[in-house]
Copies of this chain bind each other. A is one copy, B any other.
Amino acid sequence: MNSMLSKNQIKLIKSLEQKKGRVQNALFIVEGIKGVSEFLKSNYKLRHVYTTQLIFNVPIDLVSEISEAELKKISALKNPNTALAIFEIPEEKTSEEEGLIVALDAIRDPGNLGTIIRLCDWYGIKTLVCGNNTVDCYNTKVVQATMGSLTRVNVQYLDLEAYLDSKKTEVFGTFLAGENIYHTDLPTNGVIVLGNEANGISEAIATKVNRKLTIPQFGEIKATESLNVANATAIVLSEFKRRTIIEK
């Protein structure tokens, strides 16, 4: 089979693995049948899909059938799965002012950001605000880890200090010492701040938090220093949301 991929196409795809390339082109990569299908169902605009099987319902000029070897060449994955698509990065929507908002202070690990977006989707959090020091949500590994949830959560990058200053709702954050999250009243509105993997919430951001929460530790030996930030997010969202449903 002759290559259907031009040098320029490969060059473009490779450039999108870096943030610089994504910003310059306003494009990002989605890989795999499930991911590509989820983005095709969403409002995201497809630029092109490269696939080893013509299984997607897209205009004929926006799809190229390629070989497994070609897919392997353009994929960032060890085991590429059928398709790699390029979508346009949309303009950021301004934040919802209602309900719970999750805010991230310097999350660096793409897998953590991806699963946090998936958690927001699960728990009906519409807006995720990220300090500018948080990993790019259009990073290929982040997109992969969201399992399509990125199409349903509005992610915004901004100056987190200024944003929190502007908020009139309560600002919550998780710390090693604070109110026991299991036994405190939690509202249906507010901002929940989660901090960096190694250092937690930075000092500058901590001064903006007016409700410090803690997830208590169990067991005889209390030697663990912290939870993984995505797991902490899971527990915190679970606590905020379980109180909003009425027991049958």
Contact = CB atoms under 8 A, between A and B. Distances in A.
A248 interface: yes
A195 to B, nearest CB: 16
B182 A245 contact: yes
Contact of A224 (B122, B183, B232, B247): B122
Nearest to A219: B124
A143 B193 CA distance: 28
Interface stretch (A19-27, A59-67, A157-165, A210-218): A210-218
A242 B152 contact: no
Contacts of A189: none
Nearest to A183: B247
B241 A238 contact: no
Interface stretch (A4-12, A50-58, A111-119, A131-139): A111-119
Interface string A99-125: 000000000000100010011011111
Identical chains bound together, number: 2
A202 B148 CA distance: 24
A232 B231 CA distance: 8
A235 interface: yes
Say which size band chain A's interface belongs to: 35 or more
B223 A227 contact: no
Contacts of A239: 238
A225 interface: yes
A194 interface: no
B227 A122 contact: yes
Contacts of A125: 219
B245 A216 contact: yes
A118 B234 CA distance: 14
A220 interface: yes
B221 A152 contact: yes
Given A147-B226, A227-B234, 6 more contacts: A115-B228, A119-B228, A121-B219, A123-B218, A125-B219, A234-B238
8 contacts: A118-B228, A122-B219, A147-B226, A148-B223, A149-B224, A152-B223, A183-B247, A238-B238
